[in-house]
Chain A
Amino acid sequence: MGRRSGCSMVLGERKNLFLIILALLIILIPVFLKNKYYFTVMNVIGLNTIVVVGLSLLIGFGGQISLGHAAFYGMGAYLSAILTTTYHFPPWPSMVIAMLATGVVAYLVGYPSLKLRGHYLVMATLGFNIIVNIFMVELDSITGGPSGFPGIAPFSIGKLTFDNDYKNFYLIWAFAFLSIVVSLNLVNSRVGRALKAIHGSEVAANALGINTDQYKTKVFVLSAMFASLSGSLYAHYLTFISPRSFDFYYSIQVVTMVIVGGMGSIWGAFFGAGFLTVLSEVLHVAEKYNIIAYGTLLTLVLVFLPEGFLVGLYRLYQKRKMKALIEGEERLIS
């Protein structure tokens, strides 16, 4: 029997079932759970999920790596903050404007970079991230500088204001859920296949009529817009943002989440976001150990389970089962 692809092995074809379960969890958790701290963590998981799912489309399906998504996340946050606080725009349109602006910037950066080979894109996005971060710090009259931008109003639609953890939970997770649904739609479609094809063999994809430059750029812009959306929600949730949240270390963190969750899988991205956010929280208690733990975990997963945590462990488990079966049969024969 031939090997099935990793994700469908682990989850089977029952994606809709998982979506229903997720939706139920989202609706029911605030009814039963009241601990404020857990809500904060879950909200951060939700925010990270949006970024990581978008990034997963770029990395796992488009086959491109970006180490600059913190910049897009930050752009969403700062643009929303500035538009709503300094210019008194309402939050909804500000978020949309921020997404569009981020998309344009992503296009300008991505289009020339994506024509280059793999690691040049890594460096271009990294360089971009650093530049944007420096601008966040130095343009202090607009951004508030290194001490940050306080006093952001909570998100609101008309009379409905999302000003506590429970309400933000629903807001953030509604978007997180949407981002998963929309990404799954994309992945299981002609465009998703084209992206996987580009990842598999760019020259063959071109030879089959896929405009690879255009597709790579589009998925880059899309992933940037996901990050911007999440950044806007982040700004309204925390009501305070500072440049330090948007440095390239965050970019590395979100890429780690994609890789640990398993490249080429949207649910894997969700798992990666959840797992590593929780891990980060657990380690935050001993903040000194955060960096080394993250680094060691990333290294170990990449060295031994490059297909991702879940898929890798599942394959290991399958191998052990096969070995046991074979050894059992050999004993029967002899």
Chain B
Amino acid sequence: MGLHEQVFQYIISGLTLGAIYALVALGFNIIHNATGIVNFVQAEFVTLGGMLLYSFYSFLKIPLPLSFLLSTAAVTMIGALIERGPIRVAKSKAIIILVFITIGISSTLRGTALLVWGPDNMPIPSFSGEKVIRIFGAAILPQHLWIFAITIGVVIFLQYFFHRTLTGKAMRAVSSNRRAASLAGINVNRMILLSFAMSGGLGAVGGMIIAPISTTSYDTGVMLSLKGFAAAILGGYGNSTGAIVGGLILGVLESLGAGLISSKFKNAFAFLILLLVLFLKPSGLLGHGEAERV
């Protein structure tokens, strides 16, 4: 393959990865906008999406579309339970305590996954076969197309939800000004519950669509979600367009870096970019200075 084709290949795989980062980043944003919390359980949302898909589809042989929905529903429910349980009950509402509660829950869920599924990789077949499609010399798998299609679908759905439905607008109101929203009659607690549930669903979808072409084990979600968080910061934390832009850019940069510079330091790229953004322009590419000092 000539250099041009190589670069194009890296860009394609980078965009695929980036789509997942974008989904994870959107999940982070939704909870952060509603509550100010960084939700470390996002990692397990991603992991559990993939693991449950394995259990429903590969293990129990339930047809794929149904497995997909069941898995999404299950993780959405887990997200909701986390909010309803530990987060709601917590004696201290200090943000830092809540963030660490999510770290604790993340460890608990990861430990549970280890016990239930063991430490090994769970293989999941591609959604519609492995026949390579060639576009401009680059090899594209059907799974890549699924990833793009589903991500675009999710983004369109979120766009519609947040701008055209009453519930979505209510959630935006809570993000903007919680007290005013509650005075306007919005049930803030319910919106927060919903934000956790939606984050769960988003994470699960992200975990599932990448599962066939990546490893799926009890701690897969950790790296993915950390990089998704880096993507959110890159794009401008709290900003949904930023999440998508950040995710795609991060994915492409990481892929190009791994391919052209060094694959050994692949994982370091995302975090080096994260540190650069935080030190130079914390508000990210599209942010408005929210991250700056109070």
Tell me the A residues contacting B by CB distance below 8 Å: 65, 109, 112-113, 115-120, 122-124, 126-128, 130-131, 134-135, 138, 203, 252, 255-256, 259, 288-300, 302-307
Contact = CB atoms under 8 A, between A and B. Distances in A.
Nearest to B110: A291
Interface string B275-292: 100110010000000011
Candidate in B100, B275, B278 with the most chain A CB atoms within 10 angstroms: B100
Interface stretch (B11-19, B168-176, B201-209, B260-268): B260-268
A255 to B, nearest CB: 7
Contact of B99 (A122, A289, A290): A122
Contact of A126 (B96, B115, B226, B268): B226
Given A115-B293, A117-B291, A123-B38, A255 B100 contact: yes
Given A252-B107, A296-B108, A128 B275 contact: yes
Given A117-B291, A259-B100, A292-B112, A124 B267 contact: no
Given A134-B268, A291-B114, A252 B275 contact: no
Contact of B108 (A124, A131, A295): A295
Given A118-B96, A292-B108, A127 B282 contact: no
Interface in B44-99: 86, 89-92, 94-97, 99
Q: Rank and list the top 7 A-B pairs by shortest CB-CB distance, nearest first.
A: A292-B111, A295-B107, A299-B104, A295-B108, A291-B111, A298-B104, A127-B271
A302 B99 CA distance: 10
B291 to A, nearest CB: 6
A306 B105 contact: no
Contacts of A293: 111
B21 interface: no
Nearest to B85: A303
A302 B104 CA distance: 9
Contacts of B91: 303-306
B146 to A, nearest CB: 29
Nearest to B94: A306
B274 A302 contact: no
Given A123-B229, A123-B278, A306-B90, 15 more contacts: A65-B96, A117-B294, A118-B95, A120-B282, A122-B38, A124-B279, A135-B268, A291-B107, A292-B110, A295-B111, A298-B100, A298-B101, A299-B86, A303-B89, A305-B91
22 contacts: A116-B291, A118-B96, A127-B271, A127-B274, A127-B278, A128-B275, A130-B226, A131-B272, A134-B265, A134-B268, A289-B115, A292-B114, A293-B111, A294-B107, A295-B106, A295-B107, A296-B104, A296-B111, A297-B104, A298-B101, A298-B103, A299-B105
B188 interface: no
Interface of B: 38, 86, 89-92, 94-97, 99-101, 103-112, 114-115, 226, 229-230, 233, 264-265, 267-268, 271-272, 274-275, 278-279, 282, 291-294
B271 A252 contact: no
A321 B230 CA distance: 49
B271 A120 contact: no
A292 B110 CA distance: 7
Contacts of A288: 114-115
Nearest to B92: A306
B107 A119 contact: no
A117 B293 contact: yes
Contacts of A116: 278, 282, 291-293
B212 to A, nearest CB: 26
Given A115-B293, A299-B108, A306-B91, A130 B268 contact: yes
A118 B278 CA distance: 12
Contacts of A118: 95-96
Contacts of B278: 112-113, 116, 120, 123-124, 127
